[in-house]
A and B are shown apart, each in its own frame.
Chain A
Amino acid sequence: MAVKAYLRPKSAAEALALVEGDERAALIGGGAYLRLAARGYETAVDLCDAGLDRVRVEGGMLWIGAMVTYRRLETDSVVRDWCGGLLGRCVENIVGVQVRNIVTVGGTVAGRYAFANLTTALLALGAEVVLERGGRKPLEQFLADKALVRDVLVEVVVPAKPQRGAWRDLTRVRTDFAVLNAAAVRRGAEWRVAVGARPGVARLSYGAAKAAAAGDALGAGAAAAAELDFGDDLRASAAYRRRVCSTLVARAVEEVLS
C-alpha cells in the first residue's frame, strides 16, 4: 500500500479530525484488506490506539468496540453468553486464527462488506452503530445509507439478550466466503431474519420474520427467497442463491423454534 504518513491517534475524536474533509486519508481498522487496496493514500489513520477495543454491558445492552477482533467474538465469555454464541459461530471459520486476530468488528461494519457473515448476524440481532459524529443509528439504516459521509465507527450495540439465535451459511470450502448466509433471532414475540452474501450486503426479510412468528419455518424460507434480491458472481448464480436461501432460512428458523 502506498502511504506517505502513518498516524495512530489516541481517540475516535482525534481520528475523525484527521480524516474529516480529507479524501486522501484512510482509516485503518483491522487492515486485512489493505494489501488488496489498489489505491494509495496520503495518510493512514490507524485506530489501534484509539481505545475502541472494549466490550462492556451497560444499560441492558452489549457494547462492542469497533476494534474488537473476530477472535475475541469467539473467545470472550461476555459476548458468547450475550448472543447465545451467534457472533462467535458466524466468524469461527473465517480463514484462520491469524486473520481473525486482526479483522475487526468496526472494519467489517464500516466497510459494508457484502460477503461479511458478521453483518448478517448483527442485523438479525437488531444491532445499532455508534458513530463519532453521526451518533447512534440502527445498523439497517447505516447499511442502507448510500451517502458515505466521513465518520469514525466507535461501537456496535447489541440490544437485550435474545431468547435464541441460529446461524447458517453455505461455503464451497469451509474457510471461504459464504455463497449465502442467514441468521434468525427471536426476542419474545419479535423475530428478525437476515440474509447476506446474496451477494449484496445483508438485508432483513420481514416476510420471513412474520412467518417465523407464526411458527412456519418452511414459510419463512419461502418468504425470504421471494422477498430478497439475489445476484450472480463467481461463487454462485442468483437462481442457486434463491434456492439455497429458502433452505438456510428454514433451517435457521427451525433451530430457533425447536
Chain B
Amino acid sequence: MNISLELNGRHADWDVEPGEALLEALRRHGVLSVKRGCDTASCGTCTVLLDGAPVPSCAVPAPRADGRSVTTVEGLPEETARLGACLAAEGADQCGFCAPGLVVAVVAMSRELATPDDDAINHYLAGNLCRCGGYVSQTRAIRRYLEEAR
C-alpha cells in the first residue's frame, strides 16, 4: 500500500506492507540511524518523533504514518551535533547504538519540559535503555546540553 509522509521536513511517497512497522519501513528506505533493539517497545532505541511526539517506531504500524510527519536524528542535525559533543565530553558515548533514539528523546524532552532536574530527566528518559551502563554520564551530558541550550 502507498503512504505519503513528511520525513525530516521532506515529502516522501512510500510503498509499505500493511503489517510492517514504521521501524522496518524507515530502515528499508535507508534511514539507518533508527536502530532495531528489543523490537517490543521496551528499549527506546528506535525512537522517532511522530508529529513531534516521541514514539517507539517498532510498535507503530507504518500505515499509521500516512499523512503525518516523522523526524529522526537526520532531521535534527544541530541538536544531534551539540548533544553528541556533550555525550563525548562526558564519556557517555560508549558503543553509540542507543544514541540516535536517546538524542530524539532528549530533543522531545527539551521541547516539553522547561527546566527538568535530574529526577525529571531520568523519569522522562526511563524508556531509553543503555546496555553500556552509561546512565550517570548520560545524565551529566544531557544536563550539560540543556544548560548550553539556555
Which residues of A approach B to under 8 Å, CB–CB? Answer: 1-6, 8, 28, 31-32, 34-36, 40, 44, 46, 48, 71, 92-93, 95-99, 101-102, 174-175
Chain B residues within 8 Å of A2, by CB: 19
Q: For the complex, give the distance between the alpha carbons of A8 and B18 in Å.
A: 12
Which among A97, A101, A174 has the greatest number of chain B C-beta atoms within 10 A? A97
A5 to B: closest C-beta gap in Å = 6
Instruction: Determine whether B126 belongs to the interface, using a CB cutoff of 8 Å to chain A.
Output: yes
| B42 CB → nearest A CB, Å | 6
Q: How far is the CB of A7 from chain B (nearest CB, A)?
A: 9
CA separation between A97 and B124, bound complex, in Å?
6
Contact A95 B41 (CB under 8 A): yes
Question: What are the interface flags for B15-27 relative to A under an 8 Å C-beta threshold, 1 for contact and 0 otherwise?
Answer: 0011101000000
Q: Which residues does chain B contribute within 8 Å of A99, judged by CB atoms? A: 41-42, 56, 59, 127
Taking the nearest CB of chain A, how far is it from the CB of B110, in angstroms?
A: 13
Nearest B residue (CB) for A37: B19
CB distance from B76 to the nearest CB of A (A): 16
Tally of A-B Cβ pairs under 8 angstroms = 90
Among B18, B39, B108, B125, contact of A6 (Cβ-Cβ < 8 Å): B18
Query: B108-149: contact bitstring with A at CB < 8 Å (1 yes, 0 no)?
Result: 110000000000000111111000000000000000000000
Residues of B within 8 A of A98 (CB): 41, 44, 47, 54-56, 105, 127
- What is the number of residues of chain B that contact chain A, defined by CB distance less than 8 Å? 32
Interface residues of B in 75-132 (CB under 8 A from A): 105, 108-109, 123-128
New contact pairs (11) apart from A1-B61, A35-B59, A98-B55, CB-CB < 8 Å: A3-B18, A8-B63, A8-B64, A34-B59, A44-B19, A46-B64, A95-B42, A96-B124, A96-B125, A97-B108, A98-B44
Chain B residues, CB < 8 A from A97: 54, 105, 108-109, 124-127
- Cβ B126 vs Cβ A93 within 8 A: yes
| B residues in contact with A35, CB < 8 Å | 21, 39-41, 58-59
Closest 3 pairs (CB-CB, A-B) = A96-B127, A3-B19, A6-B18
